[in-house]
Amino acid sequence: MDAPLDISTVGFYNARMKFNPEALRVMSNDFVTEVYDEEKDSMVKLNGYLITAVDGSDFILPSTEENAEKYGQSIGNTLDKKNASVMGKLSVIYDCINKIIFDSCVGEYKYSERDFASLHLHSLKETVRTPTITIFDRGYFSMQLVNQMVENNQKFLFHLQGGVLTRYVDQVSSGEDKDFEVTFNRLQTNDYRHDKPLRMKHIHLL
């Protein structure tokens, strides 16, 4: 009988630290692509579309100096960093009906959920060939995400916060499907000031 392996905690940790996590991402994307290519006829769709959703969450990490430096802390109303929680941010894009995660990201506590969403949409485009409709919760709406999905021919649905596009939304009655042209002024485009191609293409400054 073979003797059991004697692996120390330190040895296991050192070996794990040499592992490139990007390899898992590549393998996961390849696996998802294979599944949806081989099982595309059996995947449940709505009017021919896969229904996907993007969402994120903050989570608590062990309070080590290394984690605090890499991911950040939630200071809240106190300036006492010593007792502040070390936090990270997790984001996923998910097949709501077939219950498969297409892509996931972990990053700094203050990392933008919209930027994570942009990465997810790029991964979705590269991974799945079936048309999709992606649902977003409050806080995700941005012209950059809209532009990205329009460019990639990806359908989408945003749950808007109060005050976002109100003057246009108020023109639509319950259950009505309506197209209208949206115009932004300089104040409303401040968030996109660094994105000159987007501004030149889509925004008419007043």
CATH number for the domain formed by residue range(s) 19-161: 3.30.420
Whole-number pLDDT of residue 17? 76
pTM for the model stands at: 0.80
Take residue 152 and report the two structure tokens written for it. 């990639």
Take residue 21 and report the two structure tokens written for it. 């996590």
Take residue 41 and report the two structure tokens written for it. 């006829």
Whole-number pLDDT of residue 162? 76
At 193, give phi and psi (nearest 5°): -60, -30
Pairing of strands 73-74, 85-95: antiparallel
Q: Is the pLDDT of residue 197 over 80?
A: no
Q: 136-143: long-range contacts at Cβ-Cβ below 8 A with a sequence spacing of 24 or more?
A: 136/53, 136/54, 137/54, 137/55, 139/113, 140/54, 140/113, 140/114, 141/165, 142/114, 142/191, 142/192, 143/184, 143/189, 143/192, 143/198, 143/202, 143/203
Whole-number pLDDT of residue 13? 73
For the chain, the domains span 19-161, 165-206
The most confident of the ranges 41-50, 167-176, 181-190 is 41-50
For residue range 126-151, list pLDDT tens digits in order: 999 899 999 999 889 988 898 899 89
Take residue 75 and report the two structure tokens written for it. 């200071």
State whether residue 42 is helix, strand or coil: coil
